[in-house]
A and B are shown apart, each in its own frame.
Chain A
Amino acid sequence: MSTKRLVELGIRSLDPRGSSRVEELLGTIDNVFTFAGPFRYPYTECGFLFTSGTEHSFAIDDIGNTLPAGQRRATASPFDTGGIIDYLLPNVALANQIQFHRRHEIPVPDYRSYFRETLSILFSSPWHYLDGTGPDDPGPIEVKEGDDRRWTFEVRFKSELPLPGNLLAVFLPTRTARQSWAREKIAAWKRDGVGVDIYVPNDENGWGTLLGRSILYITDYLHKLR
């Protein structure tokens, strides 16, 4: 769910220190944030990988017709928009930061052709996008600051992103998977054909194990598609 929905439902409150400040400024507070690629954003124990069909379902109307770009319920950006204000363009006026954000929004799923070109032209190997090595060429977008947030594609969904029917795989550490509520969820996911990857975490290294598992899973998945 988006931050806005979570607040409306009383599940969380707005903390001005958190990302909600940036989301409000950029007008993305009613978006659910995902990345095209492995898990990039710290810090979490669990991870969801969504099917590519998820994007399509947010780009069509109730009877299956493709919506005009401006009416679709998902949008992509060729960077992590959460980093624009404080990290990617830190010394730029707010109005220009917002304009920059708007200028780089790309309809979903059409962004994929630009994504493909980015991987083939800016990266010496597309695998360097996956493993976090990063691009060899900074590319045409005028952002020179920041880390992997500068070149990680973000896909945002309007308001809510349902899990049923959209999940490709779920990653959980043993202690989370063992929890009573989780094991029943996992059983349901397995019945629905969702991949479930349960791992023993290395707590001393934060989410490093999760990151590594997601990269392995995606690499294997892509190899099977070839």
Chain B
Amino acid sequence: MNTWNLKDLEIVGYAESLPDDLLPAVVAPIYRVREDDDTLLMPPFDAHQGDKVKTTHVRRRAELDRLVGNEQATGIDKSIPAAPGQLLWIDESRRPHYQSAEQVRSHFQYLATAYLGLAREALILQRFDHADKLAQKAINADNRSLDAVLVAAVVERMRGNNDVLDVLSDIAKAIDPQIDFQQQLEIYLEGLLQDNRNVPISNLTPDHAPSQSSIASLAEGLDIADFPETLCVTSFVDRCNVAFQRELPALLETEPRKFVAYAGDKRLGIDENEFYLRERLAHAGPIALFYVEPQDQELAAPLW
């Protein structure tokens, strides 16, 4: 067993070759001994606390090249002096950072929370793939993020993949062995329904680039009075952008996910699964309803 003092070491790489979809990430450093250019200390470390490192994995410099060649490690261009209480992490542009553990954990917690917020908004917008990817970033930042697992569970439930729901329950139990996953999922879903009236979409990254013309068309929502036979037959809709010959419930079934409702600049979301919320919507004040085709052209709140 060899013990080394951190002040005698510098970081020359890390023991990962991460794909883009697993970034950002904290990574295990590969150290070089300053006084012996050919000696590397590799993880796993038997102890990595205070100013000491213990490992049995003492290798030669060429080992790093070999691991990089095998896509099992990554070298960094400019070595970083090792210091106690620091963590090495890689951002989404693959830049290395070496900061205090407290700073890194705080930053990663911030990232996880931010991504989870965006994932939640994407769920409400029914952009399920997008929500799934955003929540993946949250768990990349925080390996213990239960909400990231719950987002995946919502997505899989919508897809009817019950086998996969069991897997997600296993992941949740790895994070919290005491968890009642089904109960947590129900609570999360209920929270989504509650929140869907108050979620701003202004900072949500769209799946597709915005189109000015589609925003304009939303802004030009027509008054219901112009269309006696519109879909706006239900009491809570005050205006809409397209006239239809059939009533909303039928349209929601035949053309799912193509309608969006706004109360002021609050996006409410509406489809056949949420139509039962009409009573709630009725209390939200004037409602504008938009038919959006193609679906990904619904990009922003109406500009009134």
Which A residues fall within an 8 A CB radius of B? 12, 15-20, 42-45, 86-87, 132, 147, 173-180, 183-184, 186-187, 190-191, 196, 198-201, 203-208, 211
Contact = CB atoms under 8 A, between A and B. Distances in A.
B299 interface: no
B241 to A, nearest CB: 34
18 contacts: A12-B71, A16-B69, A18-B68, A19-B70, A42-B42, A43-B67, A43-B73, A44-B72, A174-B149, A175-B139, A175-B140, A177-B174, A178-B168, A180-B136, A190-B166, A198-B171, A200-B174, A204-B87
B45 interface: yes
B139 A43 contact: no
A211 B168 CA distance: 23
Contacts of B69: 15-20
Nearest to A209: B44
B143 A200 contact: yes
A179 B21 contact: yes
B66 A206 contact: no
B26 interface: yes
B271 interface: no
A167 B28 CA distance: 28
Ranked nearest first, the 6 interchain pairs of A and B with the lowest CB-CB distance are A18-B69, A206-B43, A208-B44, A17-B69, A206-B28, A15-B69
A43 B43 contact: yes
B25 interface: yes
Contact of B66 (A18, A176, A201, A204): A18
B66 A203 contact: no
A184 B148 CA distance: 17
Interface in B111-141: 132, 135-136, 139-140
Contact of B143 (A17, A43, A174): A174
Given A42-B72, A211-B44, 9 more contacts: A12-B71, A132-B56, A175-B140, A176-B22, A178-B136, A183-B152, A187-B167, A190-B166, A203-B27
A76 to B, nearest CB: 22
A216 B154 CA distance: 33
Query: Chain B: interface residue count, which band?
Result: 35 or more
Contact of A203 (B28, B56, B132, B156): B28
Given A42-B42, A147-B56, A205 B48 contact: yes
Contacts of A179: 21, 136
A178 B139 contact: yes
B163 interface: yes
Contact of B171 (A42, A86, A132, A178): A178
A174 B43 contact: no
A17 B139 contact: no
Given A42-B67, A174-B139, A187-B163, A205 B45 contact: yes
A96 B168 CA distance: 52
Interface of B: 15-17, 21-22, 25-28, 42-45, 48, 56-58, 60, 62, 65-73, 87, 132, 135-136, 139-140, 143-144, 148-149, 152, 156, 161, 163-164, 166-168, 170-171, 174-175
A211 B57 CA distance: 13
Contacts of A208: 43-45
Given A173-B143, A200-B144, A200-B174, A42 B15 contact: yes
A183 B70 CA distance: 26
A178 B167 CA distance: 9
B231 to A, nearest CB: 35
Contacts of A16: 69
A214 to B, nearest CB: 12
A199 B174 contact: yes
B21 to A, nearest CB: 7
Nearest to A175: B139
Among B48, B156, B170, the most chain A Cβ lie within 10 Å of the Cβ of: B170
Nearest to A199: B174
Contacts of B166: 187, 190
B66 A19 contact: yes
A199 B143 CA distance: 9
Given A16-B69, A174-B174, A178-B139, A207 B167 contact: no
Contacts of B43: 42-43, 205-208
Contacts of A132: 56
Contact of A183 (B60, B72, B164): B164
A177 B167 contact: yes
A164 B173 CA distance: 26
Nearest to A132: B56
Contact of A204 (B17, B26, B170): B26
A45 B164 CA distance: 21
B163 to A, nearest CB: 4
